[in-house]
Amino acid sequence: MANNLDLSKLSFEPIHVIGAGLAGSEAAWQIARAGVPVVLHEMRPVRQTEVHKSADFAELVCSNSFRADDPEASAIGVLHREMRRMDSLIMSAADAHKVPAGGALAVDREGFAAYVTNQISTQPLITIVREEVEGLPPPAWDNVVVATGPLTAPALANAIAALTGESGLAFFDAIAPVVHRDSIDMTKAWFQSRYDKAGPAGTGADYINCPLDKTQYEAFIDALLAAEKIDFKSFEKTPYFDGCLPIEVMAERGRETLRHGPMKPFGLTNPHNPTVKAYAIVQLRQDNALGTLYNMVGFQTKLKHGAQASVFRTIAGLEQASFARLGGMHRNTYLNSPRVLDAHLRLKAQPRLRFAGQITGCEGYVESAAVGLMAGRMAAAERKGEIFIPPPPTTSIGSLLNHITGGHIEVIDGGTASFQPMNANFGLFPPLSEKISNVGGKRLRGPEKAAAKKRALGVRAEVELENWLNDSPGLAAE
């Protein structure tokens, strides 16, 4: 289907967008909205992925939830607000087709996808081509947005892998849980690198260590073995990579396996109890440049999310852990973006290729669409010869972009799995410059303080987004 538009009559050459999922549809919409023509290439229904079922654009492959819609209490709610402010097609489709879901924004999935498909199909500046892009786009396509998602068709995925090198593109994610630093009890945990090694970017005290005695370790293994697990889907029956086994699989292989793997206690001394050697130790490593998030080293898992939270909170120091994300393992094609993309989401090795959506290492429907929104605006600005300054990291969309293109710390022993897909969360925001401890003369503690902090981060984000839009001519919603 095409819109019969004579592209030769337009003042700009078209931008090619590959993939009409959440990110590609939003990118195409934003580009057209900026007055630049788009050719949108979508392989469905000619070729389906393992999970898509329809020919519609922006098909939701699993849940129908866009998660919490409250900008005062969640970073995803702030992201909703920012995207609405920037005329997001995905958000207007969600608002037009929402279904009752308490504080969450959930949608009628068929109505939602039909709305997106209709808006894109009737937008005069967008030409739709139903074809698989097999391999790298032809050299004549000088401005391309690749938004082919976690299940990118193999020919294109292999071509991108060849361009980025072995550690530039992952085909499977093995995600260890990520914890908010300020929820770790440092009266039980402590900072130390194994054998106090500083390494190239460290201080010798880079890891947070949580100790277990023999009784605690045995109880932890029992809980792990008994916990509910998620099955791999048929298309995910990939053999485990070495060094990437789920912890529960390691525990099934032998009760001592973890103690000789990710929970080994050697080279570490607990300053809270220096004369007693821990039987096992869980290490957490800094995950973002801000130092607000820490990942549980080697703790990739297929335990159900509820089970993860309860089993991991049995570990000393993590009793009150607040998880920025829980662990998982999925088939997922995603770039090692902090290394291979520039701040404008362009592939350093071939800057005509810009990436958007889950393939950049964000996670979730809304996040994928948000990165599509930015990629679309960046591509259009480039085509029009305009300067584009990315949004500040104090906004939800800016914090996500910052994490993808530069916020994550690549560690020497992190391997290819060092950069892990990430949802929007307040842990990606720079900390507030003022302490939230007193409001109206009242001293805040615990959940009250946490809620006030989230509200303040949301308010700051709103102000900063407006400033950014006002400073960027042509970007504000009409």
Binding interface with ligand FAD (CB under 6 A): 18-24, 41-44, 49, 51-52, 61-63, 132-133, 147-153, 156, 357-359, 364-365, 368
The CB-of-44 to ligand FAD minimum distance in angstroms stands at: 4
The C-alpha atoms of residue 130 and residue 294 are separated, in whole angstroms, by: 43
What is the bridge-based pairing of β-strands 65-68 and 104-107?
Answer: antiparallel
Tell me the closest approach of the beta carbon of residue 58 to ligand FAD, in angstroms: 7
Of 450, 343, 344, 458, nearest in space to 394 by CA: 458
Separation of alpha carbons 311 and 474, rounded Å: 50
Nearest approach in angstroms of CB 294 to ligand FAD is 23
Nearer to ligand FAD, 31 or 268 (CB): 31
Conformation bin of residue 150: beta by default, left when phi > 0, alpha when psi is -120 to 50: alpha
First to last CA, the chain: 29
Least distance CB 422 / ligand FAD (angstroms): 12
CB of 154 to ligand FAD, least distance (A): 9
Helix (H, G, I), strand (E, B) or coil at 98: strand
> Is the backbone peptide bond immediately before 45 cis, with ω within 30 degrees of 0?
yes
CA atoms within 13 A on the CB side of 158: 5
CB of 415 to ligand FAD, least distance (A): 22
Q: Which is nearer to ligand FAD, 134 or 462 (CB)?
A: 134
17 with 37: CB under 8 angstroms? Answer: no
Exposure of 216 by Cβ count < 10 A (0-12 exposed, 13-18 middle, 19+ buried)?
A: middle
Q: Which lies closer to ligand FAD via its Cβ, residue 132 or residue 218?
A: 132
Q: Among residues 44 and 460, whose Cβ is nearest to ligand FAD? A: 44
How far is residue 144 from each of residues 131, 204, 336, 388, measured CA to CA in Å? 15, 43, 19, 17
Q: Where are the alpha helices (DSSP H) in 122-213?
A: 154-164
When the beta carbons of 359 and 400 are compared against ligand FAD, the nearer one is 359
Alpha helices (runs of H) in 172-286, residue ranges in sequence order: 214-226, 247-253
Q: Are 349 and 409 in contact (CB under 8 A)?
A: no
Nearer to ligand FAD, 50 or 448 (CB): 50
Specify the residue, 42 or 69, whose C-beta has the smaller distance to ligand FAD. 42
CB of 78 to ligand FAD, least distance (A): 16
Q: What's the min distance (Å) between Cβ of 104 and ligand FAD?
A: 11
**Closer CB to ligand FAD, residue 224 or residue 335?**
335
In degrees rounded to 5, what are phi and psi of residue 357? 85, -160
> Minimum distance from CB of 292 to ligand FAD (Å)?
22
Distance CA 381, CA 121 (A): 23
Q: Which is nearer to ligand FAD, 150 or 168 (CB)?
A: 150
**What is the helix, strand, coil percentage profile of the chain, to 5?**
35, 20, 45
